[in-house]
Amino acid sequence: MITKKEMQYAFVIDKEGKKLSPTPVDNAWYLIRKDKAELIEQYPMVIRLNKTLPQRKVDDNPIVLGIDDGAHKVGIALVQRCKTKNKVLFKGVIDLRQDVSKKMDERRGYRRYRRSHKRYREKRFDNRGSSKRKGRIPPSIYQKKEAILRVVKRLNKYVRIDKIIIEDVAIDIRALTEGYKPYKWQYQKSNRLDENLRRATFMRDDYTCQMCGKNFAKLEAHHIVPLRDSGSNSIYNLITLCCDCHEKVTGNESEYKEKFLNIIEGRELDLKPAMHVMQGKSYLRSELKKIANLEITDGGTTANKRIDYGISKSHTDDAICITGLLPVDTVDVKEVTIKPIRTKKKNRIEELEGFQHRDIIRYTKRDGTKYEGYITALRIKNNKYNSKVCNFRSFSEKTYRGYGFRNLTLINRPKGLMFI
């Protein structure tokens, strides 16, 4: 399926721990084979050279980190400015946890239950100091920003980050509700639809073509009543179509008008994800500033760059565009999925047969099919053999329960963050 080999870089530090420029993975393995370096970590790959490099020999071409903040997924990319063509050193998607607010509700329930069953204790009230604190960020959002910071700090351990660039809000909610006002850049390129409206349309239609149902295709926003027939530039006149369907419809707009209007009638844009991104914004910014120089760019600029350089729309590619270091030699760099893991405070069983909680494993079925995932539970069965088993969750989020260890291989033991 994959014809071209994706590029992948390993992070490099020297004997003293100086952060050097990353090197292609193949080269890193070569250095290890030649005993010139040792493997520190494999996911992400980090090697340490056996010698110290003098400061003057350290490559100081600036490395920029771009962050495309989202409510569900966050794209990040490290791009290095080079004399000839800029290099994408790393790209990844942080798969944010979505279960926090549910878990908070559960906890509230447990606490309430316990409180109300302690009859000997007097009732207390007005004791919610922390949730009334000024500038407080709700845990579900705080956790999302914290996950981004964890990733950035982790990367910064192995690679120099000279500048961080983050996109301002993905969606300008005000511009949608208070009427359309074009951004500055649109005056120059007036044939382009406002990126804000485009994104809002996709969001409302759940990133799915409203004609064929595809959601992995290149999506476009279609004007139900064309602008030339004085259709409006508003979300009520836009619908999400894939490029194939869009082509079919173009020229026959009137034929599809009724159908499309019916589809989107009464469909409201769920603003919650956009608000989540907004809410933790200043906290994230102030924390990022402590790591490196921070610069802010707006969504329109990113979209324009992406279109100019013909780069597809994905979270990581957006992050590459956000760094502003275009053109790059290739965007075909392995996309790493990063999952923040919830730390388990107390495990009844710490280790079983050499496996621990959250270990990344490969399970080989008898017919040879392989699943990769991570261990979610370890236990000893209460049967006559006292069989030792585990539960694991595959990366496609399916849970497997009660599996023995014989067909499991340990791939990696992540420290707080999973790099897959």
Contact footprint for Zn ion (CB under 5 A): 209, 211-212, 214, 242, 245
In the complex, the smallest distance separating the C-beta of residue 214 from Zn ion, rounded to whole angstroms, is 5
In the complex, the smallest distance separating the C-beta of residue 264 from Zn ion, rounded to whole angstroms, is 15
In the complex, the smallest distance separating the C-beta of residue 291 from Zn ion, rounded to whole angstroms, is 42
In the complex, the smallest distance separating the C-beta of residue 67 from Zn ion, rounded to whole angstroms, is 31
Give the residue with the Cβ less far from Zn ion, 250 or 399: 250
> CA-to-CA distance for 362 and 348, rounded, in angstroms?
23
In the complex, the smallest distance separating the C-beta of residue 147 from Zn ion, rounded to whole angstroms, is 33
Comparing C-alpha atoms, which of 122, 126, 128 is closest to residue 108? 128
328 strand-pairing partners? 86
Give the residue with the Cβ less far from Zn ion, 150 or 214: 214
> CA-to-CA distance for 237 and 264, rounded, in angstroms?
9
C-alpha of 283 from chain center: 18
Q: How far is CA 139 from CA 101, 102, 104, 144, 325, in A?
A: 7, 11, 8, 9, 34
Which residues have CB under 8 Å from 329's CB, separation 6+? 85, 86, 87, 88
Give the residue with the Cβ less far from Zn ion, 206 or 353: 206
Pairing type for strands 163-167 and 87-95 reads: unpaired
Secondary structure (3-state) at 312: coil
In the complex, the smallest distance separating the C-beta of residue 316 from Zn ion, rounded to whole angstroms, is 24
Give the residue with the Cβ less far from Zn ion, 91 or 223: 223
In the complex, the smallest distance separating the C-beta of residue 130 from Zn ion, rounded to whole angstroms, is 48
Give the residue with the Cβ less far from Zn ion, 79 or 245: 245
The answer to whether the beta carbons of residues 91 and 75 sit under 8 Å apart is yes
The answer to whether the beta carbons of residues 288 and 294 sit under 8 Å apart is yes
User: Sign of the C-alpha dihedral, residues 97, 213, 318, 21?
Assistant: positive
